[in-house]
Amino acid sequence: MSAGVLALAAVILGCNGDDEETPTETPTSPTATPAITAPPGSGDFGELAAKYAAGVEGVVRYKVDSENWGFHPVGTWSVYRLGAEIREDWATNTFGYDEITSAFIVGDGLFLCHSTDFAASCSIAKEVALLDVMMILFTPIKDFPGDLLTGGPDYTATELPAETLGGTEARCFDVAVDGRIGEGPPGTEKIKLCFSAEGQLLAYDRLVTFDSDNPDGRLTAIAEEARAATEADFETPVTPRDLSPGG
């Protein structure tokens, strides 16, 4: 794994690394799919958010950008899901060439891979927590729809015109939150969420306005591609190696 990825993990798992007030959230298990149902009165928004929180099969590639948000992610995040198999990729171009970190939870085991234009390597993870270097990066996105439905601050969801995102028709909603979702400095939130008919998340544009004088925090993930998942999506780029002592 590159030094850049390890440094990024240290920032995510620790503090935000600067003096800005940035949103922070408690990581959850990457395989957690809590039984979340749409509360009465939440309408179509609640139904779609609950479908997403339960886990939706497919592949979505998101363009990610941010301002004053935690580790300041800018890059491409891809999510793969087929039955119990899960894969997530994070691709950046920090030094003039692409670097991709991938985490696999598949029938053959748990794997963490790192790829560039020049080489690829994969290691075997003995426990799912070792994949957190990748899997917890985007819990603020993955957990948000479910958190809205499970007793957080009051919110209102207003439907927006439909859009086509990643080649898929999406229903979009403007969500205003009276307070904060998850932990973090006091403030209010406004977010645009778009879902496919199956509940796949296709757009996430989250703006946090802090009660202090610090600048707003913003995190966006917009689908550039959405498609069905296949078994081939869960094959590692090279054969994983056991890097544990005695492996």
Mean pLDDT, the chain, integer:
84
pLDDT of residue 245: 56
pLDDT digits (tens, 9 = 90+) for 37-78: 877 878 999 999 999 999 999 999 999 999 988 778 899 999
* Sequential DSSP letters for 18-42: SSS---------TT------PPTT-
pLDDT in tens, 91-119: 998 778 889 999 999 999 999 999 998 99
Angle formed at CA 159 by CA 153 and CA 160, multiple of 5 degrees: 125
Q: Report how far apart, in Å, the C-alpha atoms of 34 and of each of 52, 53, 138, 159, 229 are.
A: 11, 7, 17, 25, 22
- Amino acid at site 126: K
pLDDT tens string 157-192: 999 999 999 999 999 999 998 888 877 788 888 999
**Fold topology of 3-17+24-30+42-234:** outer membrane lipoprotein receptor (LolB), chain A (2.50.20)
- Contact (CB, 8 A) for 29 and 172: no
Residue 34 is predicted with a pLDDT of 52
Q: What pLDDT shows up at residue 212?
A: 83
What pLDDT is attached to residue 41?
77
Place of tokens 């119990």: 84
Q: Which of 192, 139, 124, 148 is nearest to 47 (CA)?
A: 148
pLDDT, average across residues 223-229: 97
* 46 secondary structure, DSSP code: H
